Chains A and B, each alone.
Chain A
């Protein structure tokens, strides 16, 4: 009996895995065959791209280009998260502050972050600071606005419960307000992650001496077209990997929220 159940579990897992990889495999196969006979310089066969891959992405290159990119992304993303959540909590907690800030925030959010690259370059030069500032300035908006929404939506009964039990100040912030807003905050963090990756590349394309964006542009300018394509593959894989890591963290922190939603769907 239990053997049968376990067999069913394995089967279900295999089926899920099949569903997950079916489309990627199909797309890669389509790319492979469509490009197989290509003689176009800009559109090399996938075969050529894949054979170039290990030559281009050596340990040295990972250290000199991928690592700096990732570190800048991390620095920008984390500072955006800290600033966004802190400011968002203040704005979300006080109606007056919100009334004053909201129009400005809506305006700033509407400015496309890549436009800020030349502006920030004026102030912060072309070093690490500029790139981190560009990433942070783009990532901060979804985090900030989602935190504001999450914080202001704290349930009134929960708020009163906390007050009646003397849970105030830092304890209230930590155990009630931020936890209650965490699903919204994570929605903002998720949006910010994809914005951060885009800005990481863009900031390196304008003025840089290393990094993924710099490398890809460099390959393109020197007509190393298959190498350029491998760079795009690396970026795609990187984005995918970061999103998997994000999901793992989210599942851990918001486990209660998914459980709560599933239980209210059942009833």
Chain B
């Protein structure tokens, strides 16, 4: 059956100044409603290109992206993106509340409903008190929480996250990972999480898609059979976690050497 989000035969070739770069060769996968899928691949494997194609920010050379069966040709209203560069993704001239509210103003919502969504989203990322602050008055981790709140308030069918925690310190990162897991479980949203960090992919995902090196294909799809209740301390030292991460690691090494999936 078709998933909520399906990518089929996606190919992206960049043409520029006499050089053709095939970033993505042939990608096909689906994400079902309510899933938390992690995309992991070697650095420079076209993860961001893929994400931009899915978000409707880039037009693929061939193939298509379907969201709820409808082809994506521009940014679809049912999708929200959390970018890696929180400092450049939040608007510094707006307070936290206004940052979260601005996308909602493009939707046919009443003022009361907008207020409700904003307050609820900020509460659920633990920033209920920071609504009146400017983003640059907050730490990096808090800024990324604001970006997540903005995405949540938008009530997307699919939440795309592009290496969202690559620029924060390790402890903040662990907190944010648990936040994402918690939001996924509480709200039943569908999340596609792009990362280059193998541990993060295995810890967060219900399923991990391993991408090959550029030109990119899907190297392997892996179900993460860890218990739903995950814990930074116990899960990360569980034998099954170690097996899975070793497996993904080997796949990525193989991908870098250009060996097809086992």
Q: Known: A165-B154, A175-B102, A259-B134. Is A158-B89 also a contact (CB below 8 A)? A: yes
The DSSP consensus for interface residues of chain A is: helix
Q: Which of B21-29, B77-85, B110-118 contacts A (4 or more CB under 8 A)?
A: B77-85
Q: B137 near A176 (CB under 8 angstroms)?
A: no
A18 an interface residue at 8 Å Cβ cutoff? no
Q: B93 near A164 (CB under 8 angstroms)?
A: no
Q: B75 near A155 (CB under 8 angstroms)?
A: no
Q: B91 near A176 (CB under 8 angstroms)?
A: yes
Chain B residues with Cβ under 8 A from A167's Cβ?
A: 102-103, 106
A163 an interface residue at 8 Å Cβ cutoff? yes
Q: How many Å from the CB of A95 to the closest CB on chain B?
A: 15
Those 3 A-B pairs whose CB atoms lie nearest each other, nearest first: A165-B103, A157-B88, A256-B93
Chain B residues with Cβ under 8 A from A263's Cβ?
A: 136-137
Chain A residues with Cβ under 8 A from B77's Cβ?
A: 166
Within 8 A of A (CB), among B174-215: none
Residues of B within 8 A of A (CB): 52, 55-57, 75, 77, 79-81, 83, 85, 88-89, 91-94, 102-103, 105-107, 134, 136-137, 150, 154
Q: B80 near A164 (CB under 8 angstroms)?
A: yes
A257 an interface residue at 8 Å Cβ cutoff? yes
Q: B88 near A158 (CB under 8 angstroms)?
A: yes
**In-complex Cβ contact of B75 among A166, A176, A180 (8 A):** A166
Q: Could you write out 23 A-B pairs with CB less than 8 Å apart?
A: A155-B88, A157-B88, A158-B89, A163-B57, A164-B75, A165-B80, A165-B150, A166-B75, A166-B103, A167-B103, A171-B102, A171-B106, A176-B91, A179-B91, A179-B93, A179-B94, A182-B93, A256-B93, A256-B136, A257-B93, A259-B137, A260-B92, A264-B136
A64–B239 Cα gap in the complex (Å)?
90
A253–B134 Cα gap in the complex (Å)?
14
Residues of A within 8 A of B (CB): 155, 157-158, 160-161, 163-168, 171, 175-176, 179-180, 182, 256-257, 259-260, 263-264
A257–B136 Cα gap in the complex (Å)?
10
Q: How many Å from the CB of B111 to the closest CB on chain A?
A: 16
Find the A residue at minimum CB distance from B98: A175
Q: How many Å from the CB of A181 to the closest CB on chain B?
A: 11
Q: B83 near A161 (CB under 8 angstroms)?
A: yes
Q: B56 near A164 (CB under 8 angstroms)?
A: yes
Q: A256 near B134 (CB under 8 angstroms)?
A: yes
Q: How many Å from the CB of B94 to the closest CB on chain A?
A: 8
Q: B55 near A164 (CB under 8 angstroms)?
A: yes
